[in-house]
Chain A
Amino acid sequence: MTATSPPSPTSLPSPLPRPADELARLEAAWTPPRGWKLLTAVNNTYIGIFYIATAFVFFIAAGILALLMRIQLAVPENTFLDQGTYNQMFTMHGTVMMFLFAVPVVEAIGVLLLPNMLGARDLPFPRLSAYAFWAYLIGGVVFFGSIFFGNAPDGGWFMNPPLTSYRYSPGANADWWLLGIGFIEISAIAGAIEIIVGILRTRAPGMSLDKLPIYAWAMLVFAFMIVFAFPAVILATMLLELERAFHWPFFIAELGGDALLWQHLFWFFGHPEVYIIFLPAAGMVSLIVPTMAQTPLVAYRLIVLALAGTGLLSFGLWVHHMFATGIPPLSLSFFAAASMAVTIPSGIQFFAWIATMATGRVQLKTPALFVLGFLAVFLIGGLTGVMVAVVPFDWQVHDTYFIVAHLHYVLFGGMVFPLFAAFYYWTPFLSRQQLSERLGRWVFGLIFVGFNVAFFPMHITGLAGMPRRVYTYSAGLGWDSLNLVSTVGAFLIAAGVAVFLIDVARNFRLDVTNNAGNVWGAGTLEWLPTGNYSVRSIPLITSHEPLWDQPGLAADVEAGRYYLPGTATGRRETLLTSALDAKPQYLLQLPGPGWTPFFAAAGTAAFFLLLTVKLVVPAILGGVLAIVMMLWWMWGSDPGPNHAPVDIGGGITVPVYVTGPASHSWWAMVTLLLVSGMLFGSLVFSYLYLWTVSPRVWPAGGAGIPAPVFPLLAAALLALSSAAIAYASRALRTTVGAGHRGHTMVRISLLAALPLLVAALGVELYGQWQAGLRPTASSYGAVVYTLSALQGQFVLVLLIMGGYTLARSWCGLLDGQRRATFDNTMLLWHYAVAQGLVALLLIHGFPRTFG
């Protein structure tokens, strides 16, 4: 099989006729749950749709908050909302739009579309998607509900301390943000890991990296950006919550803290966040434009470069939000230069879309209208983006309505317009009929006009001196009529969204199996005939638009003439392929419906949300429920080689179980380690940053640092613990089946490694305590203890995972072949030891060297 020419019809992998019961067995394996058991659904189609619907409800809810704010600001000195309510509303509007709408909805669309687009049956960890969704739903609803009790966060979506710390915000408002959002971020990371492994490992054979649909490239970059960006804000929320709950002074200047540390951490996440939201939308546009123009995308490679380049350079922009904080001009200019560099990838995409439109003949259907609207609006947002990257100009417009205008042109223009294009474009994939063209034009017209009427004047309002986040303003400052116009525009947008809802109510009839089909004549795989199992057989891909370039593909796929035309093991399954060239590697058996993700999510949500209202015991019970449910679901997920290798057609036989670096679980664990590394890296940054700002609270000349014996002992314990795990790994390799003496060695090593890890942590904590250091005394004490606290979290997780691995060993579920569980524990173990050693080096070596 060569990569360049499609296989001839006679040489398709699976010969006809297919066995009579093959399709029925496939359908049986993928039968979705019905009725109230929908709560147990894990299939990506169902979870994807629940997820999108929930995110859209939050879009409307946060939009209503915006309308209320626009009423308040329509006229000067209005008393429609009081300052407390207004401040909660603008905080919630930003927070909900960012964390409960924008990121979840693009992740949700990925969950829904990616498997079909890649020719997979499902994502590799369906229960993880389900868990992420339920956690998000429960957490989001409770979080949003806080506004109905007048108890919502009111410190702005950026939550700057000291305003949000215990002194100026003693109520629970800020805790809702910190715990609620912290936890929804964890759900986003879970989704990102799922998407990375899904895109890299579950593609149809032949879909090598150079043939990956641009949308999948965008989602891959998106997911990696979440992995690298979100840990910083998770750390920031941890630090602020530690300060609020236990008075560990990270952000209090008198005790050596610094309010700007928060801004660094927050914006290290916050700026990439903009591109995290934009890239998936750009990916959608890169699929919609070729279909609407009926011609392949021009400059595929350059667009991939643009996506990767945007993802990368967006991490060099965070201080761009801190230009007015008094940072030295030279430092600012690095970020200004990086901000200029990041526009180049956007330019590439823009002109590639224009070139594609010029090549084909654009049908001006609703998706195309939204794409054109996106181009116009986002172009203005990009140009004002270059403007605010110019430091002196930003000093004027920063924190004014100019920025409100700019950010809505970028986010609403860059993400909501493509999202509506996507709704109209992909509805035929989900629904028996497509949405109405007539209503669609109204939706587009109202939203496009309303958007520009609402937001364009804000550029001028800002230049006229109106700051952001003001609940009212005086008459006669030149802001009155501009604000009134903006309010009118906001209601036009709302009217457009209302027409959209009418369109959905009238025309959207969910049915994946009998969907409206490929009404646009698109070329990508999601438009193949589909069922709950995705495609009947998994095609061999030879180009970017297989449906255009491989004639008869749809019929052949539907007839089962390609790979895996049924279920080989009788269960749900999907084909795992190699990351670069998508060669079949093994068959992954997937779980069916189950209650565990739902209850695990409910438990996790209970843990975080009950902690917010200081109900500690019920919170811990929730946490235990979550852990028990997760272990329960894990128990069945390491089946071992329980089935003979299967023939997937075309003379290819693949195993049904794989361990080691080629397995999907190894990839997921390595991704999780990247997340952990970023979290730890952010904490190391915080340590060094606080030292830069407040060297006075650092121990001078080694005084007040525990004697060297403490770190040396702790390091030795850590190293021994890792050695024990490494020994266990070797011992495990020799074991086949039960009853081997190697099993005893594995268990003894694991049992020895656990206390060593705990002891190392204990030695470090005791050393600091007996040296007189207290976490509340200074930012130095706080950050030193936080390094141990973070290590403590890993130790806790490893205690659970180590105990779980032991339990599997005792139950005979662990041996030299069936060892994915052990491998995951081992990877995390070695990581935690490495992290502990680096932390010891930092805590004890740094003050001795530079003190």
Chain B
Amino acid sequence: MKPHLLLPGVLAPLLLIGACSDLPLVLDPHGSNAQQTARIAWVLFGGGAIIFVLVAMLAAFAVFAPVAGRAWLRHPRFVVVAGIVFPIVALSALLVYTLAVSGELARSRVAAPLRIAVTGETWWWRVRYLDARGETVLETANEMHIPVGQAVELSLDTADVLHSFWVPSLSGKLDMIPGRVNVLRLTADTPGTYRGQCAEFCGAQHAKMAFHVVAREGPDFDLWLAARRMPAAAPQTPDPEQGMTLFIAHCAACHTVRGTPAAGRLGPDLTHVGSRLTLAAGTLPNNAGTFAGWIAGSQHIKPGNRMPSFDRFSGEELVALAEWLESLR
């Protein structure tokens, strides 16, 4: 099926400009939900493009064609056929088609062996892997790893205001609403790292509330999960020793690092934070330098967020703290 061949000249060049030869995320699906949506999208774009061209041609014909040639356009009967009969037929077909696909989406509810609870916070994501009884087996933040080809059930809720969970490559979005738990089932088809972002305006730093979904092959995922369930490894070097001391003195009220006394719940769980792709919900790449910068200037980098800038640390202390955190893998 290649309905995108039907795209008219107007759409194609802009698609190219935009995507630099890559298709936009929504049209380049890597999950079953997104796949179905992309298929619908191509039908919609193709149909829309055809209708646009036809109507534009009719309008141009009505204005520019020789008077005699356009006589057939003059009758109310033309309005009835083009403006009523045709839309009824086309839209009925579209309605049946999209309902059928929606029904397929809604009914394909295979039992999901993996359940993850995602809570929207201002402005980051709390991620909890749940066991069969709904108990948390692993808490992490701003990143979730899932096995390829397996349905995953995400329970979405929020700790404060509205947020919306959206990974365009895998699935459409679903809102996070106080007092409710919305359930999103998705499956990743190919291994890879997929970016997601909050899609419902949630205040000052709505723009900097991203996350990543990493799809791994099954065995690889099992290894990852097992490793992450372990507490943080004891520091290896003398310098990080100082980092841990600083962390427990200054950061433990808000952050948890399993295996240490730090057990704060306000901010993200930082056990294994060194292995994450980004810092501050997709705001910075993750390395010791950016980590030190974030600790010292979090209010500069992401103004208004809940973490104060720790500018009282000396340079040495910052490096020690950042290196220790980076060592948590």
Contact = CB atoms under 8 A, between A and B. Distances in A.
B180 interface: yes
12 contacts: A299-B79, A324-B173, A325-B175, A333-B99, A347-B82, A349-B83, A357-B59, A358-B73, A390-B98, A457-B18, A467-B206, A481-B18
A227 to B, nearest CB: 28
Query: What is the predominant secondary structure among interface residues of chain B facing chain A?
Result: helix
Interface stretch (B22-30, B132-140, B145-153): B22-30
Contact of B63 (A168, A362, A384, A464): A362
B251 to A, nearest CB: 25
A259 interface: yes
Q: Which of B71, B99, B162 has the most CB of A within 10 A?
A: B162
A397 B204 CA distance: 22
Interface in A338-355: 340-341, 343-344, 347-352, 354-355
A642 interface: no
A478 B20 contact: yes
A333 B100 CA distance: 11
Interface residues of B, number: 89
A156 interface: yes
B202 interface: yes
Interface in B60-101: 61-63, 65, 67, 70-71, 73-76, 78-80, 82-84, 86-88, 91, 94-95, 98-99, 101
Contacts of A772: none
Given A160-B162, A324-B175, A392-B98, A357 B37 contact: no
B161 A163 contact: yes
Given A253-B179, A259-B162, A463-B25, A383 B78 contact: no
A22 B254 CA distance: 85
Interface in B9-38: 14-15, 17-20, 22, 24-27, 33-34, 36-37
A160 B163 CA distance: 11
A87 interface: yes
A457 B19 CA distance: 10
**Interface of A, helix, strand, loop or mixed by DSSP:** helix
B102 A391 contact: yes
A393 interface: yes
Give the interface centre of A84, A160, A372, A465 by most chain B CB atoms within 10 Å: A465
A180 to B, nearest CB: 20
A298 B70 CA distance: 14
A661 interface: no
A380 B59 CA distance: 14
A344 B81 CA distance: 11
B14 A351 contact: no
Given A348-B83, A351-B83, A253 B178 contact: yes
Interface in A283-326: 298-299, 302, 324-326
Interface stretch (B44-52, B111-119, B265-273, B288-296): B44-52
B201 A160 contact: yes
Contacts of A848: none
A168 B160 contact: yes
Contact of A298 (B74, B164, B168): B74
B195 interface: yes
Given A341-B91, A348-B79, A393-B44, 17 more contacts: A87-B203, A156-B201, A168-B203, A260-B177, A326-B180, A348-B83, A352-B79, A387-B45, A391-B98, A460-B17, A460-B19, A468-B199, A468-B201, A473-B207, A478-B19, A481-B18, A481-B20
Given A253-B179, A395-B173, A354 B15 contact: no
Nearest to B76: A299
A254 interface: yes
A471 interface: yes
Contacts of B84: 302, 344, 347-348
Nearest to B282: A474
B308 interface: no
Nearest to B61: A358
B56 A326 contact: no
The residue among B25, B65, B162, B179 with the most chain A CB atoms within 10 A of its own CB is: B179
A259 B86 CA distance: 40
B102 A380 contact: no
B203 A351 contact: no
A472 interface: yes
Nearest to B48: A383
A398 interface: yes
